[in-house]
Amino acid sequence: MGQDEKILAAKQIIDTSSKITVLTGAGISAESGIPTFRDSDGMWNNIKPQDIASPHAFKKDPGLVWEWYDWRRRIINRANPNQGHYALAEIERQKEKFTLITQNIDGLHEIAGSINLVELHGNIWEIRCEKCDKVIKNYEVPLPELPPKCNTCGEITRPNVVWFEEIIPMHMIDQALLSIEESDLMMIIGTSGVVEPAASMGLLAKQSGKQVIEINLEETPNSAIYDISLQGKSGEILPLFYDIAKTYN
């Protein structure tokens, strides 16, 4: 099948599915100017994830870890959602049931208007105190003090994100798996599909008899098992899929 035929086939599946689960990764925010992790200019080319995004790294040097997150907060603060984020929010409005599972911590899906959102890896605009467990929203860029201190107990805080060697909160996994189970279609967008548990979600959907459509700049290790694998930019492909007529009704 050529790209045009694949896009038509994907549109037909999306149009006829009333319950959709979407999984996104760093690729959906690439067109907003936020670097991915594993592409040729990705963040993990210059730095080992365990050295900066792990409990071990934080214990060793919390200031260094916070400098990296403060730098990422500055990049994300300058970024806006792109047409891919907006298209997903629009598709959500047109469907009976829609869940957006994201591995991204940038918060751009929420800004674009997505509502039923599962942020598997947390959110960079939240700060958590490990001593008193308090989580607060904080949008200061740059942060005035690194590491920031808890305004309740004075302990140093951490970004409320999931690091390597850490476990995603069980209620989020449950919510993600339930939404896949209850959907007719899963879409997997802009993720290399190498970090668990997100990496296995498409496979799980396939094994449960769901249709799976992938959108990525390039093929991924799971492309061959999905029903349709589209190669291209998510910000260009996704807007082809929502029903503009319904938007202006």
Residue 121 binds ligand OAD, judged by CB under 6 A? yes
* Residue facing ligand OAD at closest CB distance: 27
Residue from 87, 233, 241, 242 in contact with ligand OAD (CB under 6 A): 233
Does residue 121 carry a catalytic annotation? Answer: yes
Quick note: the x/- pattern for ligand OAD over 122-161, rule CB under 6 A, is ----------------------------------------
User: Strands 157-161 and 185-189: what pairing?
Assistant: unpaired
Quick note: the x/- pattern for ligand OAD over 196-215, rule CB under 6 A, is -------------------x
Residue 6 binds ligand OAD, judged by CB under 6 A? no
Residue 220 binds ligand OAD, judged by CB under 6 A? yes
Smallest distance from ligand OAD to CB 234, Å: 4
Residues 234, 27: contact at Cβ < 8 Å? yes
Which one of 32-40, 130-138, 150-158, 172-180 is the stretch in contact with ligand OAD (CB under 6 A)? 32-40
Beta-strand ranges (E) seen in 33-178 are: 97-102, 117-119, 122-129, 135-137, 157-161
Give the residue from 239, 184, 225 showing the smallest Cα distance to 28. 239
Residues 6+ apart with CB under 8 A from 165: 50, 54, 55, 56
Give whichever of 16 and 55 is closer to ligand OAD, judged by the CB atom: 55
Residue 73 binds ligand OAD, judged by CB under 6 A? no
Residues 6+ apart with CB under 8 A from 210: 180, 183, 184, 185, 186
Residues 6+ apart with CB under 8 A from 212: 185, 186, 187, 188, 202, 205, 206, 225, 226, 227, 228
d(CA 216, CA 222): 11
Residue 55 binds ligand OAD, judged by CB under 6 A? no
Residues 6+ apart with CB under 8 A from 203: 222, 225
Residue from 9, 11, 19, 42 in contact with ligand OAD (CB under 6 A): 42
The catalytic site residues sit at: 121
Site of interaction with ligand OAD (CB under 6 A): 25-27, 30-31, 36-39, 42, 49, 53, 103, 121, 162, 164, 190-192, 195, 215-218, 220, 233-234
